[in-house]
Amino acid sequence: MELSIVNNRCKVCNRTNFSQDLFDISTQTCLECKPKERLFFELLEIGDKKQESKDFYGAIDDYSKALGQSPTNIEALNSRGNAKFQMSDFQGAIEDFTKVVELEPKTASAYYNRAFSYFNINEYRQAVQDFSKCLELDSANDQAYSNRGIAKLFSGDNNSAIEDFLQAISLNPKNTIAYYNLADLYFRMQDFPKALESLDKILNIDPKFLLALELRGKLRHQLQDYQGALEDYDTILELTPSNYEVLNNRGNIRFLMKDYAKAIIDFTKVIELEPRAAIAYYNRGFAR
């Protein structure tokens, strides 16, 4: 029987021109390398399953064994980096993501993941740099803009953070997290009209966004829009009835609106929910 030459390259050992009986087309490996290749994929698959079931320690072990078979595999390095991140081994995760971008400098996701790792060890400037590299490769990534904005906030660069949040919103007008971060920053900068404008936009998109409701309630309270604040606190308490801080705030609003009977009801609930809430005893004393 005549065997034809398969013009293919083994992806493990890089040798070429194997005869048909010595090359496996489905795995693109020579028969010598095929067992190694199979073992690698088995280990990768087991690692992924462990990662899915949150056995990160086990997953790291399997990915490390897989990398023993194929030390430069991007997928295995990236997955192991993610598992290390989940175990709060941020330094280890940074090492794996660094290998990925050394091997394949155009992997935007590895820069993105490494940025989060730097963020978690308080290396905010490094995080900003990596989000920037991610954005050079993937300029429409609104999450990268939004998260770079947060990293900039932590490194004290408020104005540049605002630009990133606005850019994230222009790329994705429904990015409520970016809107919220923007609103929170305007609030802390005491630019109340802009904070209110952002909060209104969030709550038009997602009327049950609790943090936005809380912040708008607080802001309306501060701007003496008591009716508005009351509405926001009502909505929050419909969604989370035992939020005693908001109950206490609503009690204060009702007190300011001279609805003393309802203020007492709120303060009494606060004391039931949180007996250590001394401020509510104090407030209830005033309302009586």
Q: Is 13 in the site for Zn ion (CB under 5 A)?
A: yes
Count residues near Zn ion (CB under 5 A): 5
Q: Which is nearer to Zn ion, 13 or 239 (CB)?
A: 13
Strand partners, 228: none
Do 173 and 202 touch, CB atoms closer than 8 A?
A: no
Q: Select from 8-16, 48-56, 76-84, 210-218 the region that touches Zn ion (CB under 5 A).
A: 8-16
Q: Which is nearer to Zn ion, 34 or 218 (CB)?
A: 34
Alpha carbons 186 and 224: distance in angstroms, whole number: 18
Question: Could you tell me the smallest distance in angstroms from the CB atom of residue 171 to Zn ion?
Answer: 45
End-to-end CA distance of the chain: 104
Question: Could you tell me the smallest distance in angstroms from the CB atom of residue 19 to Zn ion?
Answer: 13
Q: Is 12 in the site for Zn ion (CB under 5 A)?
A: yes
Alpha carbons 23 and 8: distance in angstroms, whole number: 8
Q: For the chain, where are the alpha helices, taking DSSP H only?
A: 34-52, 56-69, 74-86, 90-103, 108-120, 124-137, 142-154, 158-171, 176-188, 192-205, 210-222, 226-239, 244-256, 260-273, 278-287
Q: Select from 9-17, 88-96, 114-122, 217-225 the region that touches Zn ion (CB under 5 A).
A: 9-17
Q: Which is nearer to Zn ion, 28 or 155 (CB)?
A: 28
Q: Is 101 in the site for Zn ion (CB under 5 A)?
A: no
Q: Which is nearer to Zn ion, 10 or 270 (CB)?
A: 10
Residues 23 to 82 in contact with Zn ion, rule: CB under 5 A: 30, 33
What Å distances lie between residue 271 and 150, 260, 285, CA to CA? 36, 16, 12
Q: Select from 2-10, 38-46, 136-144, 235-243 the region that touches Zn ion (CB under 5 A).
A: 2-10
Cα dihedral 128, 133, 134, 137 in deg (nearest 10):
160
Question: Could you tell me the smallest distance in angstroms from the CB atom of residue 37 to Zn ion?
Answer: 8
Alpha carbons 81 and 92: distance in angstroms, whole number: 7
Q: Select from 12-20, 78-86, 227-235, 276-284 the region that touches Zn ion (CB under 5 A).
A: 12-20
Binding site for Zn ion (CB under 5 A): 10, 12-13, 30, 33
